[in-house]
Amino acid sequence: MNKKKKLRRSGAKIMTSLILLLGSLSYIMVLAVINGSFGFICAMGVTLMGAVGVAKALGESIALSYGLIIGLAVGFGALRGLLRYIEQYSNHYIAFRLLAVLRDKIFAALRLLSPAKLESKQKGSIIAMITSDIEVLEVFYAHTISPICIAIIVSAAVVLFTGFVSSWWLAFVALVGFVTIGIIVPLISSKRLKASGVRYRAEFASFNAYFLDSIKGIKDLVLNNAGKEREKEVNHRSDLLLTETKKLKRDTTKAAAATELWVSAFILIALAVGILLVAQGTLSIGRMIIGVVAVFGSFGPVIAISALPGDLTQTLAAGDRVLNLLAEEPAVRPVTNGKTIDFEKLEVNNLSFSYDGKTPVLSDVSIRAEKGEIVGIVGKSGSGKSTLLKLLLRFWQKDKGEINYNGIDIDEIDTDSLLDNVTLVSQETYLFDETIEDNLRIAKADATMEEIEAACKLASVHDFILTLPDGYQTRVGMLGDNLSSGEKQRIGLARAFLRGSELILLDEPTSNVDSINEGIILKALKEQKRKKSIILVSHRESTMAIADRIYRSKIENITDKKNEA
Ligand SMILES: Nc1ncnc2c1ncn2[C@@H]1O[C@H](COP(=O)(O)OP(=O)(O)OP(=O)(O)O)[C@@H](O)[C@H]1O
Ligand SMILES: [Mg+2]
């Protein structure tokens, strides 16, 4: 993840797309920006009214009475408080809503992409996306865009106010100050900060990894009496980390100091220009005071920009990854207005398929299955058995040939109806960190306890579940990795029985099960057969004993060698 990858989009494109992604949240963002800007202007208003009062006392002709000036100052103060509240409120609202909206969008995209595209994507990077990338983006929306907008609005307002009320020379000084402090200084220091940030993070990660590793292996260190050596190395690495930390802190402090220095410099310049203008007689003292006070108090928003989370590159990379995922084309789109079916028969004719468009995985495969049949498919590992089952559920789009249910092309069948009729028990069953009962219930949310137990008995896992500490109420997480593959597999099988589909596709249902349990499961399947149709995939011949018809697959080709049972 640390490797530098080229971004697919330009920075500007990423930012625009991210803002467009906000959708209906954007108006709250606008509200936050307006509130933030007015809030700051109100805060300035309090001191500015002081300056106006002083100017009036110095004989400046000002249309406001003293009472009104004081009233305005108090009003600005009160308004500042209120606006601040609204600003904070909308910022937090955005932050939380944003996380929800982004997660929602990503899950929706994943839902469409699964299961096909997720096989090829690394699970790790998706988890990173859902956690850290979204957090990074939240910072971008809630704490990057709005400070920038606020700085632009407030700075423009100050320049205009100073220009019109006091002097355009002072306004010009302010403008140069804003550009210097808000853009030039951060750009210069961000280069150095970024470099030391990268070094610091690398050192930090390496130290952490080494330290954790040492703790994990502490037993072996003690056994080999290698503790002293290890301690030396830990100390050495800790010193390295300390050096990088110091460098980073020094650079951060330097950057902050540079900003402060420039602020002071521009305040002095404004003061000098103001005095000069008064000396030349082009500006009255009163208006000079108002202008200079306005400039003095106006650097807050640009200082905030210079203190922004320095690493915009990280934000852009996160944005790019999220946008890539959202733009990813799914392997198949769900059919929503298709035909519904009640499974009677399945016919696969001359089916060909390849994942990458080049390497054929299935070519010219023909099989059929009718209600009440057990159809067996045997073949070597990698010959495309699991692929065939995935195609039968339309996880991928078939390339050539036909897959027809009840004579209807699979691409015309409503996806919900297809999934109601056909259930796949895949080679690996995933169990959620919930109770065993909850894990079974995902197959049928409103199942009664009797139904659940019946399904588990069929799958030969009921007795095992009863031996768990809390039976069906045992949390899977509590068991750690203590469930064997075979036990998981049988829970997967129980799910399929509970789901009650007419056609059950079993991908190596007994590969991790001992021969006693295999016998029990196969017997259960055979009993089910009167009610259900089953397609049974295995590379074990023994499993095929119960099949009515067997197809044997060679690599890249499943041939229909009839083998009447
Ligand atoms: N998502 C995928 N993308 C690209 N290639 C894939 C994908 N899934 C499987 N393959 C490839 O397709 C071929 C067939 O795989 P498949 O899983 O269907 O074989 P299988 O017969 O089920 O094997 P096994 O008996 O080991 O389960 C293999 O060469 C595999 O590497
Ligand atoms: Mg397989």
Ligand 2 midpoint to CA 431 (Å)? 19
User: What is the predicted pLDDT for the residue at 329?
Assistant: 84
**CA 508 to ligand 1: nearest atom:** 27
Mean pLDDT of the region 99-116: 84
- Residue 332 falls inside a structural domain: no
One-letter amino acid of 420: D
Q: Percentage of residues in the chain with pLDDT exceeding 70?
A: 94
Domain identity same for 165 and 21: yes
- Residue 311: per-residue pLDDT: 62
> 406 with 310, same domain?
no
502 in the same domain as 361: yes
- Measured in angstroms, how far is the CA atom of residue 337 from the centroid of ligand 1? 31
Domain membership of residue 443 (yes or no) is: yes
Could you tell me the distance, in angstroms and rounded to a whole number, from the CA of residue 553 to the centre of ligand 1?
13
pLDDT in tens, 50-95: 999 999 999 888 888 999 999 999 999 999 999 988 888 888 888 8
pLDDT at 536 over 50: yes
How far away, in angstroms, is 376 Cα from ligand 1 center? Answer: 18
**Residue pLDDT, tens place only, 319-333:** 888 888 888 888 888
Tell me which ligand sits closest to the C-alpha of residue 388. Answer: 1
Pair 284, 355 in one domain: no
* Mean pLDDT in residue range 538-555: 80
Residue type, 88: Q
370 and 303 fall within a common domain: no
Q: Evaluate whether residue 266 is within a structural domain.
A: yes
Report the separation in Å between the CA atom of 541 and the middle of ligand 2, taken as the mean of its atom positions.
15
- 274 in a structural domain: yes
At 368-412, the pLDDT tens digits run 999 989 999 998 888 899 999 999 999 999 989 999 999 999 999
Residue 339 lies in a domain: no
> Which of 327, 357, 372 is a domain's end point?
327
- Beta partners for 230? none
Residues 402 and 264 in one domain: no
pLDDT tens readout for residues 150-199: 999 999 999 999 999 999 999 999 999 999 999 898 888 877 777 787 78
- What is the average per-residue pLDDT within 456-472? 91
- What is the pLDDT, as a whole number, of residue 554? 56
Query: 177: domain CATH number?
Result: 1.20.1560.10
Q: Counting ligands in written order, which one lies closest to the CA of residue 117?
A: 1
Residue closest by Cα to atom 3 of ligand 1: 355
Least confident stretch, 23-27, 253-257, 323-327: 23-27
Nearest atom in ligand 1 to 387's CA: 18
Determine the Cα–Cα distance for residues 339 and 404; give it in Å rounded to an integer. Answer: 12
| Ligand 1 pocket mutation, candidates 122, 359, 386, criterion most atoms within 8 A of CB | 386
Alpha carbon 538 to chain centroid, angstroms:
37
Do residue 405 and residue 289 come from a single domain? no
| Interval 490-501 mean pLDDT | 91
Asked whether residue 411 falls in the same domain as residue 289, the answer is no
Distances (CA, A) of 431 to 122, 339, 490, 509: 19, 32, 11, 16
Transcribe 150-205 into DSSP letters.
Answer: HHHHHHHHHHHHIIIII-HHHHHHHHHHHHIIIIIHHHHHHHHHHHHHHHHHHHHH
Do 404 and 272 belong together in one domain? no
Is 307 exposed, middle or buried (CB count within 10 Å of its CB: 0-12, 13-18, 19+)? middle
Nearest Cα neighbor of 59 from 287, 275, 293, 292 is 287
Q: What is the pLDDT of residue 121?
A: 53
Does residue 438 have a pLDDT over 80? yes
CATH of the domain at 517: 3.40.50.300
What is the average pLDDT value for the chain, to the nearest integer?
Answer: 86
Q: Which atom of ligand 1 is nearest to the CA of 380?
A: 25
Give the pLDDT score at 559: 46
507 alpha carbon, closest ligand: 2
Q: Which residue segment(s) compose the domain that 371 sits in?
A: 345-559
Residue 340 lies in a domain: no
Count how many domains the chain has.
Answer: 2
Ligand nearest to the CA of 555: 1
Which residue, judged by its Cα, is nearest atom 24 of ligand 1? Answer: 381
Report pLDDT for 460.
Answer: 85
Domain membership of residue 565 (yes or no) is no
User: Which of 298, 327, 356 finishes a domain?
Assistant: 327
User: pLDDT tens digit string along 128-151?
Assistant: 677 778 888 888 877 788 888 999
Q: What are 265-304's pLDDT values in tens digits?
A: 999 999 999 999 999 999 999 999 999 999 999 999 999 8
Confidence band for 242, pLDDT divided at 50, 70 and 90:
very high
Same structural domain for residues 271 and 357? no
Candidate of 351, 358, 363, 385 to mutate for ligand 1, largest count of ligand atoms within 8 Å of Cβ = 385
Residues framing ligand 1 (Cβ under 6 A): 119-120, 355, 361, 379, 381-387, 427, 539
Q: Looking at residue 555, what is its pLDDT? A: 41
Residues 141 and 225 in one domain: yes
* Same domain, yes or no: 284 and 361: no
- Domain membership of residue 4 (yes or no) is no
Q: CA-to-CA distance for 90 and 83, rounded, in angstroms?
A: 10
Ligand 1 atom 16 nearest Cα: 384
Domain boundary pick from 327, 356, 387: 327
Contact 501, 422 (CB under 8 A): yes
- Is the pLDDT score of 432 beyond 50? yes
